Structure 1
Amino acid sequence: MSIRWRLLEGILFHHLMGASSGEDAYVLPMALGFDSRERLDEFVAVLQKVVDRHDILRTAVLWGACGSRSRWSAGTPKSRCARPRWSTSPRVMCRAWWTGCSRHGTLMDITVAPLVHVTVAPVPGTTRCVALVQVHHLIQDHTAVDVLFAEVQAFLEGREGELAAPLPFRNFVVQARLGIPVAEHEKFFTTLLGDVTEPTAPFAVLDVRGDGTGVAESSVALDQVTAASVREAARRLGVSAATVLHVMFARVVAAVAGREDVVFGTVLFGRMQAGAGADRIPGLFINTLPVRLDTGRGGVLDAVRSMQGDLAELLVHEHAPLALAQRMSGVAAEARSSPRCSTTGTVWARRTPVWKWTGSRSCSRRSGPTTR
């Protein structure tokens, strides 16, 4: 079956851009640790069972002699996960754990299913093993990764009978594509962005192209007092904490961009209108779309109410292509951000989650390297 999905086309574009360098910013790495080779083999066998359950995990991407659009082949034959490649080199092991990159770079052959690869190595002097699981963003988002590992956990604990029957991802794609007419998307984003003639450029940086591998990420967690204050402010205003945070971020963007009327990108869940069962299906649902706020007009309450209404309307258009939204603006084509970037010029950064799979089959997630 051939399916057309605009966000996937944008990711494919950047995959092809990175082919010459051997790097792909959309290969999502996950590092795992096992207390024995047997436990690792069990994990790989169970991972294959999960891949067998879902059509999107058995999907390859083909293009070229397919007309003007890519062909997203969701009917591929049953495939096996990549056979583990063993190495006694501590250097290879460290690269898997610390940087999430395999010996052969991050570029993946997306014409061969599944787009799930496993590279493993022993920990010298111990019975432990490490594994680098790489999943291409063409078939997964954050929620989908959680779904995948929840099903792996269910199989490992003998609860596979509790899993609901898998639903075809292609059904959700069709539903999303047919939900809102293109003309409605165009009307909404023309109203939102039609009079925007210059991109919002924090620190005057506009050139954010590239394969994404040179991007560094820094994050600071809000302390409990500040987080509680945000929630309390949202409660008093009768809005969500997300609305308040969007207004706060708009103020930050305005300060670093040197302008009051700002446009920036926000990530949408993509599953709100995808139909029943969308919360338990692997696959790429998320989307990035523009948000606009004139921080110099009105007070804080006005800004919050305006953002609340805009976010509610944006949810109706959560499956609209970012390229469509950009075309509806008055910004010249050569000044627009690339499909991988938000309209603030901020590139999505890669993160390497680290899991530890213990002998008792428990799985815990941590957001950084481990030094066990």
Structure 2
Amino acid sequence: DAEAARLAELWDSALRALAAHGAQPGAGGRTPSDLLIELTQEEIRELEADPRVTDLLPLAPLQEGLLFHHQYGDATEDPYISQLRVELTGPLDPARLRAAAAEVQRRHPALRAAFRRTSLGTPVQVVLDDPELDFARIELTDAAELDAVCAADRGRGFDITDPPLIRWTVASLGEHHTLIATAHHSVRDGWSMPIVMRELMAHYLGDALPQVRPHREHLAWLARQDRTAAECAWGEALAGLDGGTLLSTGPAPAGQQPGRLDLTVAGLDVRGAARRLGVTVNTLVQSAWLLLVARLTGRDDVVTGTTVSGRPADLPGAADMVGLFVNTVPLRARLHADEQIGAFARRLQLEQARLVEHHHLGLVDIRRLAGHGELFDTSMVFENYPLDVDALTEVARRAGLVAGAVAHHAVTHYALAMEASPEADGLRLRLHHRPDVLDDGQLAQIAELLPALLRTVVTEPATPVGRIPGCAPDALLALGQGPKDADDPRTWPELFLDQVRRTPAAPAVISGPRTLTFHELADRAGALARQLAEAGVGPEQRVAIVLPRSVELVVALHAVALAGGAFVPVDPAHPVERIAQTLTDAAPVLVLSTSGTALPETGVRRLDLDALDLTGERLVRPVRAEQAAYVIYTSGSTGRPKGVVVTHAGVPGLARAQRAVFDVDEDSRVLQFASPSFDAYVSEVAVTLLAGACLVVASREELLPGAPLVRTFAEHRVTHVTLPPAALREMRPEDLPTLRSLAVAGEQCPPQVAEVWSAGRRMINAYGPTETTVCATVSAPLSGFGVPPIGTALQGLAVRVLDAHLRPVPVGVVGELYVSGAGLARGYLDRPGLSAERFVADPFGAPGARMYRTGDQVAWRADGQLVYVGRADRQIKLRGFRIEPGEIEAAVVA
């Protein structure tokens, strides 16, 4: 018993000592176990050095992103500052209003919160005891001053380390007052502001309010959630996503002000439609928005951002708390063309219902789970918590005031964002946008399309997704229609011989000291054509030409055309395996080469030009437009190059169009630069000679970018050339004083190259796959400002920018480029399956018309020119050569 008594005495003494110590000034304090956030004791002491600190809290998921953007963003106007304006008329008492605002601030810890980082870099939400209220009163002299006052207040911004992050201003003109509440989004969300305004007026009137629950309880609720389950749910929801859904290609320019557009969609029974479909109004709006994003991006698997309330039903008092509860999460939709819109909406709601309990996970973590960078740059929020204007009107009446207009100002860092609010007979929409991504014309299209989509979703839910309304398709198709080609039935050989008759003595080809006139070229080509015919060459029969850049190559090319055959150019510099592969696949009836060229044994008859007598009678066989003119081999995705069969139908139109665009005349000297196996070689030869100009042929060594190429230009006074942009980096414009017209092609032209080379000469950016007879589009003369466009369709062609359902996409929206017209190739040699896949029926053309699916991603500019964005597949381009990674992989494996 004595021992027990002694133990009790010691226990009592220890407790009294602890109590006495705790009562001393400066004793006690928080420890890591007291907090919802993981901090070291040293970090706690560091933060509590500010005696005003009453709580240390973690950041909510959205606050983490806001803090990052606030610290590293460079926008002129902070996108996370919003402003509410309420008009009041009557005997307003500013002192009472100030006291009411102070009471609201004391009542809600979130309005006394700031954000600081510890010395270890940990972000912390710090709640202060009683920061000084930021309240101002301004006497206006003119009502027009109000907008400037509001803008100036927003422009002040906030120091997020120093609360309060909300300030109040009363701007008065006589008895007309505007209450301005400017706040940082990090301490309150859209649901909070009606609570704040309701309580403000209640305190102004002296009404009693129930005890408030602090937002700390929400943060404690977040800490209790199953993070692992949330990560699994979001990982599953975003599985298979092949990238973000983005309208923009980079951050907004510094100092740019976002744009805004307000819309009202009236006469729309949204609630009734939602009831009939068994979904929420929010789901219907989300469905229309996702369909819009799909149209704007040309994608079927789209992601946008959506703002969720973050006020869980199992958190008591959540509906009346003030703070930042909302979270922005991805909203994904996989669209199916044959699915009805109503079924899509129901599926969307079901998919989202599975994620509701996981809305607490932060976007940074969700993005990490998806394995991508930015998931979206569009967002939407459905605001079913508007300020209760009727209640405000009644409170104002009790205070002897008349409530007037209520206005809200907010900006966004997204390329396009929508706020949607329900109204009695429809919806009110507010669109925010980045002007560098969407100009006024594009925004006008969206302003037409979005209400149309909403009406379709609400009134025609049985409409298949693939048949939703589009954006003025007739205008978009007209945009892609090239000028009408001349009504000239002559073929390439006929046009060449007509030019020979016009300028027989003019130089046609120059190579070093050697020159052939048009007459001499025609004689040699005609004589060789006769020998080719005697060797069995005729219509639709292929002749492989294995020759380096030379006069003989030009002769051989024309000889095959005059004989009615189709030439297959093969670069003798290619690896012997590639040459053998091409010869085997092309199955030519004859190979033209020289005795000094080593060729693989294929069993095909060979003629060596240096052993032939190219004099004697010419042969000219008539050819038809539908006959094959040549076969060019391009890289194949299976590792096997594919032969593109190009007919005579496209060459005359190509020559006429490029002659006009490149300004080629009979005084021009055009450098032959392209590899003989590249289709640009055909363009260089045909355009030059059919214009009566002179073709300058140089050796491979003489065409090396830099000093060798400069010497070649000088020696032959070259006036026109087509080069890959990479070649221009090795030279200076002043090195080529004779150059009048420069075309760049084969790869994207960097803005810096255009800026340097466009001054002092005509510079054109040309684009075209082999399958469209060399060239499909050309730009207007480049000015050197911005990314060079690839231009508009050549005469006789049409280009379409289509989505996955072959619908024209709006201006500024990325889609796949399709080309139609006389220049389309016949298809791929002996590859009917691939031909059917790439050459598809043209739904916009005459019956039987085709269009070629390029695989290139492009977009229309507002000025009607196309810009190249990238590939829809894995294909790459190197100095004009299309390279399929599959071919590289096959070579490596072999």
- Shorter-normalised TM-score: what interval? 0.7 to 0.9
| Equivalent residue in structure 1 for 2:356, among 307, 315, 320 | 315
Cα distance in 1 for partners of 2:144, 2:156 equals 14
1:345 matched to 2:378? The reply is: yes
CA RMSD of aligned residues (A): 3.0
Structure 1 residues 3 and 274: alpha-carbon distance in aligned structure 2, compared to 1, 3 A threshold: farther
Cα distance in 1 for partners of 2:229, 2:95 equals 50
1:109 matched to 2:159? The reply is: yes
Aligned to 2:101: 47
Alpha carbons 1:175, 1:274 under 8 Å: kept? no
Cα distance in 2 for partners of 1:242, 1:130 equals 32
Alpha carbons 1:48, 1:81 under 8 Å: kept? yes
Cα distance in 2 for partners of 1:313, 1:120 equals 46
Cα distance in 2 for partners of 1:129, 1:273 equals 38
Summarize deviations over 1:151-198 as a string: whole Å, max 9, x none.
112222332x2x2201121111110232222x2222112111131122
Give the superposition deviation at 1:33.
Answer: 3.8
Aligned to 2:244: 199
Structure 1 residues 247 and 113: alpha-carbon distance in aligned structure 2, compared to 1, 3 A threshold: same
Q: From the two aligned structures, give the one with the greater strand fraction.
A: 2
| Equivalent residue in structure 1 for 2:370, among 325, 329, 332 | 329
1:27 matched to 2:81? The reply is: yes
Cα distance in 2 for partners of 1:103, 1:191 equals 44
Give the superposition deviation at 1:274.
Answer: 5.8
Structure 1 spans left out of the alignment, 5+ residues: 338-342
Alpha carbons 1:85, 1:120 under 8 Å: kept? yes
Structure 2 spans left out of the alignment, 5+ residues: 1-54, 382-386, 410-894
Matches within 5 A, 1:275-286: 275-286=315-326
1:222 counterpart SS class: strand
After TM superposition, the runs of 4+ consecutive aligned structure 1 residues lying more than 3 A away are 20-23, 32-38, 85-93, 119-122, 127-131, 208-213, 344-348, 353-359, 361-365
Cα distance in 1 for partners of 2:75, 2:289 equals 34
Aligned to 1:180: 226
| Equivalent residue in structure 1 for 2:70, among 11, 15, 29 | 15
Cα distance in 2 for partners of 1:313, 1:200 equals 22
Cα distance in 1 for partners of 2:266, 2:124 equals 46
Cα distance in 2 for partners of 1:275, 1:185 equals 18
Alpha carbons 2:76, 2:256 under 8 Å: kept? no
Cα distance in 2 for partners of 1:37, 1:17 equals 45
1:244 matched to 2:284? The reply is: yes
| Equivalent residue in structure 1 for 2:111, among 39, 42, 57 | 57
Summarize deviations over 1:209-232 as a string: whole Å, max 9, x none.
5789721121312213x2x1x333
- Give 1:138's aligned amino acid: S
Cα distance in 1 for partners of 2:281, 2:241 equals 27
Aligned to 2:300: 260
Summarize deviations over 1:4-46 as a string: whole Å, max 9, x none.
222112111222235x666322122122344468523322221
2:260 counterpart SS class: coil
| Equivalent residue in structure 1 for 2:199, among 151, 164, 168 | 151
Larger deviation, residues 36-45 vs 251-260:
36-45
Give the superposition deviation at 1:364.
Answer: 5.2
Aligned to 1:118: 168
Give the superposition deviation at 1:302.
Answer: 3.6
Structure 1 residues 22 and 201: alpha-carbon distance in aligned structure 2, compared to 1, 3 A threshold: closer
Structure 1 residues 169 and 365: alpha-carbon distance in aligned structure 2, compared to 1, 3 A threshold: farther
Summarize deviations over 1:278-308 as a string: whole Å, max 9, x none.
1001101111111111112651244223211
Cα distance in 1 for partners of 2:57, 2:280 equals 35
2:155 counterpart SS class: coil
Structure 1 residues 27 and 261: alpha-carbon distance in aligned structure 2, compared to 1, 3 A threshold: same
Alpha carbons 2:108, 2:212 under 8 Å: kept? yes
1:216 matched to 2:268? The reply is: no
- Give 2:182's aligned amino acid: Q
- Give 1:114's aligned amino acid: P
1:133 matched to 2:186? The reply is: no
1:101 counterpart SS class: helix
Aligned to 1:306: 347
Structure 1 residues 212 and 91: alpha-carbon distance in aligned structure 2, compared to 1, 3 A threshold: farther
Task: Identify which of structures 1 and 2 has the higher relative contact order when contacts are C-alpha pairs closer than 8 Å and 6+ apart.
Answer: 1
Alpha carbons 2:87, 2:177 under 8 Å: kept? yes
Aligned to 1:82: 134
Larger deviation, residues 53-62 vs 24-33:
24-33
Structure 1 residues 150 and 104: alpha-carbon distance in aligned structure 2, compared to 1, 3 A threshold: closer
Identity of aligned residues (%): 24
Alpha carbons 1:194, 1:330 under 8 Å: kept? no
Structure 1 residues 77 and 289: alpha-carbon distance in aligned structure 2, compared to 1, 3 A threshold: same
Alpha carbons 1:119, 1:132 under 8 Å: kept? yes
- Give 1:180's aligned amino acid: D
Pick the structure with greater CA Rg.
2
- Give 1:70's aligned amino acid: P
- Give 1:167's aligned amino acid: R
Paired residues in the alignment total 342
Aligned to 1:94: 146
Larger deviation, residues 240-249 vs 147-156:
240-249
Structure 1 residues 239 and 322: alpha-carbon distance in aligned structure 2, compared to 1, 3 A threshold: same
Structure 1 residues 49 and 56: alpha-carbon distance in aligned structure 2, compared to 1, 3 A threshold: same
Give the superposition deviation at 1:258.
Answer: 0.6
Aligned to 1:340: none
Cα distance in 2 for partners of 1:49, 1:211 equals 39
1:105 counterpart SS class: helix
| Equivalent residue in structure 1 for 2:272, among 208, 221, 232 | 232
Structure 1 residues 88 and 344: alpha-carbon distance in aligned structure 2, compared to 1, 3 A threshold: closer
- Give 2:196's aligned amino acid: L
Summarize deviations over 1:309-349 as a string: whole Å, max 9, x none.
12212211111101111112242x3xx15xxxxx243599x
- Give 1:56's aligned amino acid: A
Alpha carbons 1:215, 1:347 under 8 Å: kept? no
Output the TM-score relative to the length of structure 2. 0.36
Cα distance in 1 for partners of 2:83, 2:325 equals 19
Structure 1 residues 33 and 139: alpha-carbon distance in aligned structure 2, compared to 1, 3 A threshold: same
- Give 1:318's aligned amino acid: H
Alpha carbons 2:112, 2:165 under 8 Å: kept? yes
Larger deviation, residues 241-250 vs 84-93:
84-93
Alpha carbons 1:137, 1:284 under 8 Å: kept? yes
1:328 counterpart SS class: helix
| Equivalent residue in structure 2 for 1:68, among 104, 109, 121 | 121
Aligned to 1:164: 210
Give the superposition deviation at 1:85.
Answer: 5.4
Alpha carbons 1:197, 1:330 under 8 Å: kept? no
Structure 1 residues 346 and 175: alpha-carbon distance in aligned structure 2, compared to 1, 3 A threshold: closer
Alpha carbons 2:235, 2:369 under 8 Å: kept? yes
Alpha carbons 2:89, 2:404 under 8 Å: kept? no
Summarize deviations over 1:245-268 as a string: whole Å, max 9, x none.
222222111111111111111111
- Give 1:168's aligned amino acid: P
Structure 1 residues 362 and 282: alpha-carbon distance in aligned structure 2, compared to 1, 3 A threshold: farther
Cα distance in 1 for partners of 2:292, 2:139 equals 47
Give the superposition deviation at 1:109.
Answer: 1.7
Cα distance in 2 for partners of 1:6, 1:172 equals 12
Structure 1 residues 207 and 21: alpha-carbon distance in aligned structure 2, compared to 1, 3 A threshold: closer
Output the TM-score relative to the length of structure 1. 0.81
Cα distance in 2 for partners of 1:14, 1:138 equals 11
Alpha carbons 1:24, 1:211 under 8 Å: kept? no
